[in-house]
Amino acid sequence: MLLLGGAVAVYAYDAARDDLIADGVSVAGVDIGGMRAGQARAVLEQDLAEPLGRPLEVEVGKRSFTLTAEQAQIRIDVETMVQEALRESRSGNVLSRTVRYVAGDDVDADIEPRYTWSRPAVAALVRRIKRRADRDPQDAAVKPTPDGLEAVDGRHGLAVRGKELERRINEELARPHGQRVVTARMKTVEPDVTKEELASSYPAYVIVDRSRFRLRFFRNLEHVKTYTIAVGKAGLETPAGLYHIQNKAVDPAWHVPQSDWAGDLAGKVIPPGPENPIKARWMGIYDGAGIHGTDAVGSLGTAASHGCIRMSIPEVKELFEKVPVQTPVYIF
């Protein structure tokens, strides 16, 4: 009878503690030992759910970007954490548990926090930060003037280290009591073309100064030679701006444009010969306009053409050999 009475007392004692969390049990460092399940839920809501609800800030230089708990889609499973704490508390059998309770021994268990967040939301935040914070590099460039070519320095770019930032944001979100602040790290992005590399990018360059009837040829940005030219007359001016040599021909035929000034020749093709005003060489630059040779050397130094750039025959042959297709031609 005494043994039976003792067993009944032990089972009754154990049953009365079935929702009591043992001393030494914590969740993510939050001590819930000695608490009933309901009290533990309330404590975890306060000590874990509230901190996890704080927004996360990403600092990028002087800018700041925010990821709220709603945007991160943080979901906290308090009930699972409490049930795991109870399982740890009631490990062993009824007798071993009773002995542990009476002796005042701790369980010594720290339960992992149970919550999730959206990693795609973190990736989207990093993409948004990069769109706002990244700065493309600027290649060194050539600035033409009527008198020459000026080399303009390039500029380094900046880029957020995206993969690293994404990893660090996820690590911070994984810490329930973290600072909720991440500072983005940047990397320098080199331009494709530096000032030192610029000259090799321009093996040939042509500048046309219509007002002074001169064409200047440059090799690797260095002036090589100046030629006297004729340009378009009033009403048929040589077009201004940046162009490129689109095509080249030796002793070309003349495809007469459909223009009033062409008269009966409009639309015809004039083969090489005395009737063809395009002599020796042709370098097309834009919509029927180009650089070509002429035997009307008296027109050089004047505005006399129908839009093309005229050169003497020996000089147009010389230039023809120096300028490949795609050579820039800047006309002032």
Q: Which range scores top for mean pLDDT: 268-272, 302-306, 319-323? A: 319-323
Residue ranges and CATH numbers for the domains of the chain are 2-52+76-113 (no CATH), 202-331 (2.40.440.10)
Pick the residue with more confidence: 329 or 50?
329
Per-residue pLDDT of 41-67, as tens digits, reads: 999 988 888 888 999 999 999 999 999
Contact (CB, 8 A) for 191 and 139 = yes
Residue with tokens 């911070």: 172
Question: For residue 3, is pLDDT > 60?
Answer: no
Reduce the DSSP state of residue 263 to 3 states and report it: helix
Q: Report residue 107's pLDDT band, with 50, 70 and 90 as the boundaries.
A: confident
Contact (CB, 8 A) for 80 and 113 = no
Helices vs. strands in the chain: H and E counts, helices first: 10, 25
pLDDT of amino acid 269: 81
The region of weakest confidence among 3-12, 127-136, 293-302 is 3-12
Per-residue pLDDT of 254-265, as tens digits, reads: 887 777 777 777
Contact (CB, 8 A) for 229 and 214 = yes
At 189, phi and psi to the nearest 5? -115, 120
- Tokens standing for residue 199: 């000259």
CA 254, 259, 261, 267 torsion-angle sign = positive
Q: Considering only CA atoms, which of 233, 254, 241 is closest in space to residue 306?
A: 233
Spatial neighbors of 140 by CB under 8 A, at least 6 apart, are 151, 152, 153, 154, 191, 193, 194, 195, 197, 198
pLDDT of amino acid 256: 78
Pick the residue with more confidence: 101 or 240?
240
